[in-house]
Chain A
Amino acid sequence: MPTIKLTVNAKPVTMEVEARTLLVDLIREHLKLTGTHVGCDTSQCGACVVMVGGQSVKSCSMLAVEADGQDVTTIEGMAKNGELHPLQKAFHENHGLQCGFCTPGVVISASDLLKKNPSPDEGQIREWLEGNICRCTGYHNIVKAVQQCADEMKGGA
């Protein structure tokens, strides 16, 4: 079995995995980071989105071995020193989540958007979230949360 070395939420991880192991299974089953969810089997729903090497990735569509040497951030790694990430805070304040199942993927995906485009308009936010399906919120408060976060981060910069 191949051995891989990667960083997950700023912690070094070295482990042997079967070559066929998906990144999401490494995260959920081996590392027990169950905040990353599996909502489909066709790479559509986006509940499994994590950051790999600074890019948002559907971790169901990537082999663990492909993440060898990479820096991986899951939802568990978003808050720093007990402080919620501004997006997490914005989702809380805007009621951007209900059942919470899609939320980790949506938050990580939105964080990638704001990194690439700190001032997205409503349409750009909606288009960016094409790969994240939420069944609860009608996306209304998700989009509001991303807008608020973008405004606050601009204000802070």
Chain B
Amino acid sequence: MGKVIGERVLRKEDTRFLTGKGRYTDDLNRPNQAYAYVLRSPMAHAKIASIDTEDAKQADGVLAVLTGKDHADAGFGGLPCGWLIHNKDGSPMHEPPHPSLVADRVRHVGDNVAVVIAETKAQAKAAAQMIMVDYEELPVVPDITAAIADGAPKVWDDTPVGNRCYDWHIGEKDPTDAAFAKAKHVVSIDLVNQRLIPNAMEPRAAIGEYDPSTDDHTLWTTSQNPHLIRLLIGAFTMQIPEHKLRIIAPDVGGGFGSKIYHYAEEVLVLWASKVVGRPVKWTAERSESFITDAHGRDHISHAELAIDDKGKFLGLRVSTKANMGAYLSTFASAVPTYLYGTLLSGVYVIPAIYAEVEAVFTNTTAVDAYRGAGRPEATYLLERLVTKAARELGIDEVELRRRNVIQPDQFPYQTPVALEYDVGEFEKCLDVALEQVDYANFEKRREEAKSRGMLRGIGMSLYVEACGLAPSALAGAIGARAGLYESGTIRVNPTGNVTVFTGTHSHGQGHETTFAQLVADQLGIPVESVEVKHGDTSNTAFGMGSYGSRSLPVGGSALWKAGEKIIAKGRKIAAHILEASVDDVEFVDGEFRVKGTDKKMLFAEVAFSAYVPHNYPLEELEPGLEESAFYDPKNFTFPGGCHVVEVEIDPETGVTKVVDVAVADDVGKVINPMIVDGQIHGGLAQGIGQALLEHAKYDEQGQLLTGSYMTYTMPRAADFPFFKVGNHVTHCTHNPLGSKGCGEVGAIGVPPAVINAVINALEPEGVTDIEMPATPERVWRALNEAKKA
């Protein structure tokens, strides 16, 4: 018992998942439950001239059919956006309405037109096909290029400028222009960070249940943040008071960002359950997930790096266009701004930075945070640019990075784009990763590959990310409409075992184990004596959920604070019983000891005394042993590291094989290295997926061409080698754990490393650029075009 922080403790949650006893939302069924099916727009942009629901209402098993008009009549609010961005001139961004069912106009394929409630899922689906919708087609804006074109059709008639949502900037323009004026070299790059679909393996689902006898509403939903959903339903969409609304996010099968947001179906099942007087369940089919789950990325950027005659960076200028989709999803507006622009200094000393971001509406599914959210886009831009600069200047890319990387003695390091990094030793991460991949002997491997007719390349990236979201006051000052603290409660039961409640949510991250280790270590009790509860607003005070790699640095810190309160109270109880001064009682290895004596009490004895207070300081201390804490972070945390990738390309087919991935990450203090490595593996797979395989592609009519697993290339086991996961740890300086967060690092660091490796492999053949995903077709075409040239 006792010291278990840093131990490879096997996961508590595994048994239920391995034996088929997990309880995901679609596994749950409520008595007398009915089923919902949502009729969605097949058009990307059209006026709804009329809707006829009469036949559907008469169909077998149908209990109700609700349309956008019913939604408007019910007085519901729209799905809100949680982050207000201001334009360069100080005016607010354009925020269009986002009703859960639209009444007059559809704006993307998959837009919600009507919902059918029936006795069975099949009946609801069949009846939905009987709804007659008369669509009048409107011109479609399928992508960023179309959205910003002169005379482009408008997704929203009232956007003041074109299809612009906002026009934002960060950094200082004049000093940056001055840096470019004195630069010896200017290296520029044009990049597309393509649209992705998060694709958690569990499709979204929701069950709404209304009890008229108590006026209680319960929603089971596939959410990463049940309290946030309660807040948004309570304050915005349905105005159900929070004490009458319980949100349960049971076992959730992955999220990666896509299950942060408040979705229309959560409103629809709660509303429908009130209408039909029965619980109502909705489960997405995968093809619905593709067109309704928030997508990720989708940037087009131009960037320029100014460099002096010694290879030192002087300035960075960035212009990015970001696609919001048709509506603003819950955190969409923050992603290409405060989660992106603020990271453009990367791990480097860049004295002057100026970045402009124009966000636009298109007739596509809403885009929001997906694993990394803004930070992968910033890292991709910077690390592609640095490698390109090394090539153009004729400096080794490792050397160019060493010349410019922030040195350990420069921390805390204030970047020109608002963030102050507290700590990091990025160059050490570079050393560890290069050592792991045996960088020194790469050219030999290239030669050996060449002898087999293969093109071998190596690529790297250094990255830093801001996570542990977020200091509430700072977040509020830059437009966040929520606080970003976390809560934790430690309930010590009378016999000394412990129930822990966290406002974060685990959907694969293993909090039931990691947080148990944390609390067990602090209280000196066995991990088995700690049970972690999450995902139910009725048992946890509050919480902002899990995203942005915040659960441990923020949620774990809240639990640590609660644990300190438990120990402080325990010392008072022990002091009374042991007849000592509180100042003389110390808590060591799970025991309250009176300094300088052999008098002591076990943690469990103190707990028992708290609940059976026969000999207890009742005049000054309440019985019981349960403490809560809220923790509001003082700063972001800054995980960082180095990712190195080797690829081999078959020039005949254009197929790229990832043959080696060596990473060295600094995620701060590690509680469970097994779980951290697992998080890094998963992030790497998604990052390599972006680099080589995945692309959410629309045609000119706004139809999603990659709308199923037949066409959207999900990474498979054979796409990867084993990953070499190393680390070089520094501790976060401003939270009690020293932890920084690990959930996103893989997806942030690796895409530019892969593409740099692909270009490195193709360079001898005359290829100097390739877009993500570097599919066999793209690689083959690039090789053949280079041959022609």
> Which residues of A approach B to under 8 Å, CB–CB?
28, 33-42, 44-45, 47, 74-76, 78-79, 84, 88, 91-93, 95, 97-104, 107, 122-123, 125-127, 129-130, 132-144
Contacts and interface: CB of A to CB of B under 8 A. Distances in A.
Contact of A137 (B251, B256, B681, B714): B681
Given A75-B19, A99-B253, 12 more contacts: A40-B709, A41-B286, A88-B18, A92-B15, A101-B22, A101-B202, A101-B253, A107-B18, A129-B718, A130-B718, A133-B201, A138-B682
Contacts of B400: none
A122 B723 CA distance: 13
Contacts of B24: 34, 37, 101
Given A91-B14, A140-B720, A104 B709 contact: no
A139 B685 contact: yes
B675 interface: yes
Contact of A130 (B11, B199, B510, B717): B717
B292 to A, nearest CB: 14
26 contacts: A35-B20, A37-B201, A37-B253, A41-B286, A45-B286, A45-B709, A84-B18, A93-B10, A95-B10, A98-B510, A98-B682, A99-B252, A99-B253, A101-B22, A101-B254, A103-B17, A130-B717, A132-B717, A133-B716, A135-B686, A138-B682, A138-B683, A138-B684, A138-B720, A140-B678, A140-B720
Contacts of A122: 722
A139 B678 CA distance: 9
Contact of A88 (B11, B19, B723): B19
B708 interface: yes
A47 B20 CA distance: 11
Contacts of B26: 34, 38
Interface string B731-753: 00000000000000010000000
Contacts of B722: 122, 140, 143-144
Contacts of A104: 20
Interface in B18-43: 18-24, 26-27
B201 A141 contact: no
Contacts of B16: 100
A98 B203 CA distance: 16
Contacts of B286: 39-42, 45
A87 to B, nearest CB: 9
Contact of B681 (A93, A99, A141): A141
Chain B interface category by residue count: 35 or more
Nearest to A74: B20
A34 B27 contact: yes
A42 B710 contact: yes
> Which has the most chain B C-beta neighbours within 10 Å: A34, A100, A129?
A100
B134 interface: no
Nearest to B251: A100
Contacts of B715: 138-139
A99 B16 CA distance: 11
A150 B27 CA distance: 32
B507 interface: yes
Contacts of B508: 98-100, 136
Nearest to A129: B717
A8 to B, nearest CB: 12
Interface in B197-255: 199-203, 251-254
A82 B192 CA distance: 53
